[in-house]
Amino acid sequence: MKYFILAGEASGDMHGSNLIRSIAAKDTHATVYCWGGDAMQKTGAQFLKHYSEYSVMGFVEVLLKLNKIKQTLDECKETLLRLKPDVVVLIDFPGFNLRIAEFCHSHNIKVVYYISPKVWAWKQSRVKKMEKYVNLLLLIFPFEREFFSKYAVPHRYVGNPLLDALHTFEKNTHFYTDNKLDHRPIIALMPGSRMQEIKRMMPVMQEITHFFPEYEFVIAGAPAIPDKVYTPYLSANCRMVSGQTYQLLAHAHAAIVCSGTATLETALFNVPQVCGYKANALSYYIAKMLVNIKFISLVNLCMNRKVITELIQYDWSVSRVYDELKKILESDSAERKQMLSDYTELRTLLGENGASDRSSDAIMQFLSADTH
């Protein structure tokens, strides 16, 4: 079988890499092509394009790069016609991937969508496209099952692939010395994996480092971002490690996190956190009119209640982050204890690891059924 797998950012790249390995282990005749990131590139699949060349986030940012996006879409379509894969596996990244799904449908190429667009939050009109163009949807959050049961999208719940990544993780006992850290307790700074996020999140994060000299702040450098981007924010009390997010979380006492997959990763590593997000002002205004959810962090969404504090847009300030961080630093604080207790419940809710294997099984069963 020929598989084409497409991811558009760091978390999708990680999940894509685990899926590729699972497919390769079960289908010895598999040929896997992919667009993605560093993790997918290391799997041995035929890597064709890095997401740093085509990933854009935010309403205004997308408008400014429409020509580039169209060129990339055309390139992807030409690649699919040339390769003629048996199935295209799309990972999240809906603005781009739903257009590819429509193209595949018009050319009789099977589409599996792994990690659904967040249509339960906004743009529910996208469900109509998914009903038309997606042959199989693989769900990773428990609350998605109820939502999609109302629609005619063939779907299957496979569990959360983050649990697979954590299951194979091994803690580096030399993390401090390897990165020349000074053995104070660590507060992890996780400003996101995109350039726009880093530029909007880091100024507040950097200011916070001045108020807690008893801690060492360490930035989680994103794999696709050059180290020099973080240089203006470094100081004697603020260091950076690149491509070691899980090692950083494994050693962190607390974290300040840009909303996204990282909030769930931080929770699964049992690290108390403050979550924040700041967008382009116009993008935020548009999103505020369109988004229809109580929370933005995956931790709170999964639990359907406030577990971690979310500081969004104008609440993303030095004074607010300081107040919320201070509450969770003391080991015996009520806020810290409650958050860790909620994390235990969250892990139970997400279930067992094995999502990558269940996903590859579902894809192969779908392809097998389709050929008979």
- Which among 283, 262, 281 is positioned nearest to 273, based on CA atoms? 262
Q: Which pLDDT score is estimated for 64?
A: 46
The first and second tokens of residue 196, run together, are 């726009």
Q: Which pLDDT score is estimated for 60?
A: 44
Q: How far apart are CA 154 and CA 138, in angstroms?
A: 9
Q: Which pLDDT score is estimated for 286?
A: 61
Residue pLDDT, tens place only, 90-143: 999 998 999 999 999 999 999 999 999 888 877 778 999 999 999 999 999 988
- Which among 3, 11, 2, 8 is positioned nearest to 260, based on CA atoms? 11
Domain ranges of the chain: 2-161+354-371, 175-350
What is the arithmetic mean of pLDDT over 53-58?
A: 63
Fold: same for 2-161+354-371 and 175-350: yes
CATH architecture, domain 2-161+354-371: 3-Layer(aba) Sandwich (3.40)
Contact 115, 130 (CB under 8 A): no
- For the chain, what is the mean pLDDT? 91
Residue 365: partners with Cβ closer than 8 Å, 6 or more residues away: none
Residue pLDDT, tens place only, 323-370: 999 999 999 999 999 999 999 999 999 989 999 999 999 999 999 887
Q: Which pLDDT score is estimated for 330?
A: 93
Contact 156, 136 (CB under 8 A): yes
Residue pLDDT, tens place only, 209-266: 999 999 999 999 998 799 999 999 999 999 999 999 999 999 999 999 999 889 999 9
Q: How far apart are CA 179 and CA 348, in angstroms?
A: 33
What CATH number belongs to 175-350?
3.40.50.2000
Using CB atoms within 10 Å of the CB of residue 176, give its burial: 0 to 12 exposed, 13 to 18 middle, 19+ buried: middle
Read off the pTM. Answer: 0.83
Residue pLDDT, tens place only, 217-226: 999 999 879 9
For 20-24, 200-204, 288-292, which range has the lowest pLDDT when averaged over its residues?
288-292
The first and second tokens of residue 42, run together, are 């290391």
